[in-house]
Amino acid sequence: MNLNIVEIDNLSFGYKGRLLHKGINMMFPRGKVVAIMGGSGSGKTTLLRLIGGQIKPSHGEVRVDGDVVHKQDRDGIFKLRRKMGMLFQHGALFTDLSVFDNVAFPMRELTDLPESMIRDLVLMKLNAVGLRGASGYMPVELSGGMARRVALARAVALDPNIIMYDEPFAGLDPISMGVICDLIRSLNDALGATSIIVSHDVKETFLIADYVYFVANGEVAAEGTPHDLMHSTLPFVHQFVHGEKDGPVPFHCPAANYQSELMNSKTND
Amino acid sequence: MDRTTIDLWVGVFVALGMAALLGLAMKVGNLTSANIGPTYSVSAAFENVGSLKPHAPVKSAGVVVGRVDSINFDGSKFEAVVKINIDQRYAFPKDTFANIYTAGLLGEQYIGLEAGGDEANLKNGDKITQTQDAIVLEKMISQFLFSKASETKSDSKEPDVKPLASAKASGSKAATKAVELGDPGF
Amino acid sequence: MIKSTLLIAVARMLRGLGARMIDRIWRLGAGARLFFLTIFYSGESFRRFHLILREIYFTGVMSLLIIIVSAFFVGMVLALQGYNTLQKYGSSEAIGVLVALSLVRELGPVVTALLFAGRAGTAITAEIGLMKTTEQLSAMEMMAVSPIARVVAPRFWAGVISMPILATLFSMVGILGGYLVAVPLIGVDDGAFWSQMQANVDFRVDIVDGLIKSLVFGVACTMIALFEGFDAPPTAEGVSRATTRTVVISSLTVLGLDFILTSFMLVV
């Protein structure tokens, strides 16, 4: 049995010649919480979509449990996806279903369990995220943090081996953030799963991650345990971790000389 | 939305649709009269069927007793062969007369059956021998105008064309009428 | 100098035309692909028929009110206008035929399809567009559930089932509206109204043709609405544009298809 449940091997991906990723290598060991960090637009979410097989890489490959994802046919990809659970950025709850039905959705669609057993399982999952009392609500009646927790219950409904989180902390108040943080770690350990977190929230991510990859300019800029990275001397990591305004990632979008542009605008027309 | 409520409403919806279709079929369409139970089929030859169409009614004494099944052209005799289905409840004598009539001035054409006096009745596959063709309006008008034309000529003292005797008998009255109608061409 | 700018302008125009043409053809192809995938995945949604029932509720039952009210008024107006013209020729009894034939053959299927595109089609497009925007479709895919089988196919069949039912209701209610105007209001003879109608409306020719039309319109309208929703760019503007496009394309398609179907039905 392979030690790493997900392996990304020399992966490149891009649209129309513009490469978003240039030869990325990553390992996700079983039972660990691994974070992928990077600035907005650095292709972190795209990495999750590549692991899930929603898009195909230009070069290289992603292996899940030893199977190359993009070489699977439709059934093969569906089989792989049953080992995965994913928490989307804004929860992506089905707005036409109640909280209960949302969590029951993957069970009803993918298993032949009797309705009574589904009911018990759903209540167990909802209890784990502390929202058993909200099972009759519709998603619009929930706060952002509650919706995220319901989505988490849905993501782990079928006890997946891999749980992927796309920006789990974005747009939450500090209390909800702490709750989600706690849940990610405890669910990971309780299910014996592997968690992949895509985030740019340094504090929360470093709190729960076992290992962190930094992505910048389509490459892995740095990797290591949170403790190592905290004290890293790499300028990019230093800027990111400490949230400095200017550094290797410039404040200004690349542009022509400010002064000459202002002067030119007069003579242009 | 509760599932039983949805089921109920969809049930109501489908039932309404069925009722509407039934209403269309029975009250609006001619499904009731088209389904006239078991029938027997006879044929009749016409020199001209006008604009008679399949499914046109076959009436006797004004009551629908059957439907036109098919209209074909007989290439050897150069006439139209019309197959009609008649309700088995109605028996017609062998010498029944088949006419093609028009409902109103511009209405649809139908076949009218006038019973004869024969002892034997029509059976499945029989042929009605006595028929009268559809009245073709253009033909009638041109005949009428033609006879009028010859009359007017005789009235305007050009006696080289002899008017027909029958036309002469009722002629003058019709001629004045034609003038009243303002038919300047003639 | 002038020559070259003219050339550039012409080239730009041609490029625009070409790009638009390619886009249209691409959309047509993508729509056809979605249609075949929908048919392919339909077995799954038929096995769980309550999904289709639910969508029939939202597309069919929710459209009932607008269909019935419009049909009533269309029927009444037809009777008024028809009477006005027919009585000049002294054949006001034919008003029943006029109302029934225009409704059953043309207005029933066509107006129902146009109202359906406005009422249910836009709802379908907006719903699916928003599901896409909020990553619900993506989430479904990541759960190894095909959104075409779970979201598209039930809505498609619901539309295809609802449309003929709505069109039949439209025709029947319209005829009742015409009856109310013609008989109690104008004073056309009750018996003549119905008997003339029955003599001239053929079930197999007129009513079944109308049903076939509405079935075809059902496939077209629902498919267009589904495709536009599925294809909408995942932004607020994208969804609103897609919704508008659903109405425009559905209406034009229905009218064009109506012409083609009618010419086929009259010839054959």
Question: A82 in contact with C at a CB cutoff of 8 Å?
Answer: yes
Question: A142 in contact with C at a CB cutoff of 8 Å?
Answer: no
pLDDT score recorded for residue B182: 45
pLDDT score recorded for residue B176: 46
Rounded to the nearest angstrom, the gap between the alpha carbon of residue C174 and the centroid of all alpha carbons in its chain is 18
Question: A139 in contact with C at a CB cutoff of 8 Å?
Answer: no
**Eight-state DSSP code of residue A138:** -
**Residue that is written with structure tokens 């406005």 in the block:** C118
Give buried/exposed letters for C110-136 (b at 16+ CB in 10 A, else e): bbbbbbbbbbbbbbbbbbbbbbbbbbb
pLDDT interval class at B26 (50, 70, 90): confident
C-alpha A200/C-alpha A108 separation (Å) is: 34
- What average pLDDT does the segment C61-81 reach? 94
Residue B57 or C250, more confident: C250
**Domain locations in chain B as residue ranges:** 1-32, 34-138, 157-186
pLDDT score recorded for residue A101: 92
How would CATH label the architecture of A4-263? 3-Layer(aba) Sandwich (3.40)
pLDDT score recorded for residue B165: 47
How many CA atoms lie less than 13 Å away from A102 in the CB half-sphere?
32
* CB atoms A88 and C138 under 8 Å: yes
pLDDT score recorded for residue C80: 92
> Which has the minimum average pLDDT: B27-41, C29-43, C181-195?
B27-41
With contact defined as beta carbons under 8 Å apart, do B88 and B39 qualify?
yes
Give buried/exposed letters for A211-235 (b at 16+ CB in 10 A, else e): bbbbbbbbebbbbeebeebeebeee
Question: pLDDT (tens digit, 9 = 90+) per residue, A57-106?
Answer: 888 888 888 888 888 888 888 888 888 888 988 888 998 889 999 999 99
* Contacts of residue A226, Cβ cutoff 8 Å, sequence gap at least 6: A205, A206, A207, A209, A212
C-alpha C94/C-alpha C71 separation (Å) is: 20
> Which has the minimum average pLDDT: A193-207, A239-253, C80-94, C210-224?
A239-253
- What average pLDDT does the segment C240-258 reach? 95
Rounded to the nearest angstrom, the gap between the alpha carbon of residue C155 and the centroid of all alpha carbons in its chain is 14
Report angle CA B151, B155, B160 to the nearest 5 degrees.
Answer: 75
pLDDT interval class at B167 (50, 70, 90): very low
With contact defined as beta carbons under 8 Å apart, do B100 and B134 qualify?
yes
Chain B interface, best mutation among C97, C161, C198, by max B CB count within 10 A: C198
Helix (H, G, I), strand (E, B) or coil at B80: strand
Q: Could you tell me the CA-to-CA distances from C57 to B8, B10, B14, C137, C214 in Å, in that order? A: 10, 6, 10, 22, 18
Q: How far is B52 from chain C (nearest CA, A)?
A: 13
Round the average pLDDT of chain C to a whole number and report it.
91
Question: B7 in contact with C at a CB cutoff of 8 Å?
Answer: yes
- Which residue, C151, C69, C150, C153, is CA-closest to C111? C69
Q: Provide, as residue numbers in chain C, all residues whose Cβ is less than 8 Å from the Cβ of B106.
A: 91
* CB atoms C61 and B103 under 8 Å: no
C-alpha A76/C-alpha A105 separation (Å) is: 21
Enumerate neighbours of B (3 or more CB pairs within 8 A).
Answer: C
Q: Is the dihedral of CA C155, C158, C160, C163 positive or negative?
A: negative
pLDDT score recorded for residue C171: 94
* Contacts of residue C112, Cβ cutoff 8 Å, sequence gap at least 6: C67, C163, C166, C167, C170, C214, C217
* Pick from C134, C136, C142: CB nearest A81: C142
Report angle CA A93, A54, A29 to the nearest 5 degrees.
Answer: 90
* CB atoms A109 and C134 under 8 Å: no
Q: Provide, as residue numbers in chain A, all residues whose Cβ is less than 8 Å from the Cβ of C130.
A: 95
* 3-class SS shares of chain C: helix, strand, coil, % to 5: 90, 0, 10
Element (H, E) at A216: strand A211-216
Question: C65 in contact with B at a CB cutoff of 8 Å?
Answer: no
pLDDT interval class at C86 (50, 70, 90): confident
Q: Number of residue pairs across A and C with CB atoms under 8 Å?
A: 48
- To the nearest 10 degrees (0 to 180), the angle between helices C153-180 and C64-86 is 40
- What average pLDDT does the segment A199-214 reach? 87
The share of chain C scoring above pLDDT 90, in percent, equals 68
* CB atoms C130 and A95 under 8 Å: yes
The share of chain B scoring above pLDDT 90, in percent, equals 5
pLDDT score recorded for residue B106: 60
- Which residue, C72, C64, C113, C71, is CA-closest to C214? C113
> Which has the minimum average pLDDT: A255-264, B33-42, B80-89?
B33-42
Q: Is the dihedral of CA B140, B143, B149, B155 positive or negative?
A: negative
Instruction: Give strand pairing partners of A162.
Output: A84, A194
Q: Number of residue pairs across B and C with CB atoms under 8 Å?
A: 91
Q: Is the dihedral of CA C105, C107, C108, C113 positive or negative?
A: positive
Q: Could you tell me the CA-to-CA distances from A183 to A128, A129, A149, A178, A187 in Å, in that order? A: 8, 7, 9, 9, 6
| Residue A233 in this model has a pLDDT that exceeds 70 | yes
Question: pLDDT (tens digit, 9 = 90+) per residue, B45-101?
Answer: 888 888 787 777 888 888 888 888 888 888 888 888 998 888 888 888 888 888 888
pLDDT interval class at C204 (50, 70, 90): confident
* CB atoms B28 and C91 under 8 Å: no
Q: How far is C140 from chain B (nearest CA, A)?
A: 21
Tokens standing for A237?
């990591």
Report angle CA C38, C40, C41 to the nearest 5 degrees.
Answer: 65
pLDDT interval class at B30 (50, 70, 90): low
| Residue A136 in this model has a pLDDT that exceeds 80 | yes
- What average pLDDT does the segment A240-265 reach? 74
| Residue B178 in this model has a pLDDT that exceeds 50 | no
| Residue C170 in this model has a pLDDT that exceeds 90 | yes
Q: Provide, as residue numbers in chain B, all residues whose Cβ is less than 8 Å from the Cβ of C162.
A: 13
pLDDT score recorded for residue B184: 46
pLDDT score recorded for residue C232: 92
* CB atoms A95 and C139 under 8 Å: no
pLDDT interval class at A173 (50, 70, 90): confident
C-alpha C146/C-alpha C51 separation (Å) is: 14
> Which has the minimum average pLDDT: A209-218, B150-159, C187-196?
B150-159
Q: Is the dihedral of CA C71, C75, C76, C80 positive or negative?
A: positive
Question: B30 in contact with C at a CB cutoff of 8 Å?
Answer: yes
Residue A244 or A151, more confident: A151
* CB atoms A88 and C141 under 8 Å: no
Give the DSSP letter string of C150-209: IIIHHHHHHHHHHHHHHHHHHHHHHHHHHHHIIIIII---HHHHHHHHHHH--IIIIIHH
Residue C260 or B152, more confident: C260
How many CA atoms lie less than 13 Å away from A241 in the CB half-sphere?
20
pLDDT interval class at C75 (50, 70, 90): very high
Question: C142 in contact with A at a CB cutoff of 8 Å?
Answer: yes
Question: C3 in contact with B at a CB cutoff of 8 Å?
Answer: no
**Eight-state DSSP code of residue C107:** I
Give the DSSP letter string of C11-50: HHHHHHHHHHHHHHHHHHHHHHHHHHHHHHTHHHHHHTHH
Residues 162-191 of C with CB under 8 A from B: 162, 164-166, 168-169, 171-173, 175
C-alpha B127/C-alpha C230 separation (Å) is: 64
- What average pLDDT does the segment B118-144 reach? 82
Question: pTM for this structure?
Answer: 0.76
